[in-house]
A = this chain, B = another copy of it.
């Protein structure tokens, strides 16, 4: 999917919600465990109920790897199901991969070509040649970790080098990489005020923003500091939506939670339009 197509979907649905499909067999309704493929059954129900309120789904590969072969099979089935039934949905493999060049090439092919994801998250620590192999794929995105939503983000990402935090060096440096137009960035909602700093370096890039909801970030702040004229935001929520209920009506409750977020997003889009009516 191109960035432009993603923007069109956001406009159409009045939503920039990404739902994290972090399926943990210990947390899904127990009746699903007797099904042939409980993970896929859970995902299918969540997707069918919530797709009109979101523009993207983001399975975190850790949760699928944890289930071994069955996990990987369920992940592929989930992506295929999305492609077959909701081709307008953007897909993110939250894999946080990254390795030396020839190895990153394998990861890139796996997620962006073979499995058919629209994008994959990548860790920046190993630098340029560990990321560029992901950027080669046309109409696919590489979502680079910049400033993450967890506490440990302050261990190394915010250390200063020549007065500049490492996460800013990551943002700045990555702009010089080949096919850098295919980059998006992870910036945690728990650090919304940092988004203004991020926007000084990457004014137009899409940001994948985790940490709204369960981790305490506020949607309003994210939009205040991060929204651009082409929206430029994908805000993720996982646990707060998919585990909102563990009863048989979990999908319905998840849809209700997703709709609340979609409504708030529609308001933010309207607010932005109003505030920037002179410029747009």
Interface residues of A (CB under 8 A from B): 22, 24, 60, 62-63, 65-66, 68-69, 72-73, 76, 94, 96-101, 103-104, 106-107, 109-110, 114, 123-131, 145, 148-157, 159-162, 166, 169-170, 173
A100-B150, A124-B156, A126-B150 known, 6 other contacts, Cβ within 8 Å = A62-B97, A65-B110, A66-B114, A127-B152, A127-B154, A159-B166
Contact status A166-B155, CB under 8 Å: no
Contact of A149 among B96, B98, B100 (CB under 8 A): B100
Copies of this chain held together in the complex: 2
Contact status B145-A125, CB under 8 Å: yes
Alpha-carbon distance between A159 and B124 when the two chains are bound, in angstroms:
13
Contact status A130-B152, CB under 8 Å: yes
Contact status B109-A126, CB under 8 Å: no
> In the complex, what residue of chain B is closest to A76 when comparing beta carbons?
B68
Alpha-carbon distance between A69 and B110 when the two chains are bound, in angstroms:
12
Contact status A123-B98, CB under 8 Å: yes
Q: With A129-B152, A145-B126 in contact, do A66 and B166 touch (Cβ < 8 Å)?
A: no
Q: With A66-B109, A161-B159 in contact, do A126 and B99 touch (Cβ < 8 Å)?
A: no
> In the complex, what residue of chain B is closest to A160 when comparing beta carbons?
B161
Contact of A66 among B72, B110, B160 (CB under 8 A): B110
* Chain B residues in 8 Å Cβ range of A110: 62, 65-66, 68
Q: With A123-B125, A125-B157, A159-B169 in contact, do A66 and B152 touch (Cβ < 8 Å)?
A: no
* Chain B residues in 8 Å Cβ range of A155: 124, 127-128, 173
Contact status B123-A151, CB under 8 Å: no
Give 11 A-B contacts (CB < 8 Å), ordered by A residue: A22-B103, A62-B106, A68-B76, A125-B125, A125-B157, A127-B157, A128-B155, A130-B150, A156-B170, A160-B161, A166-B166
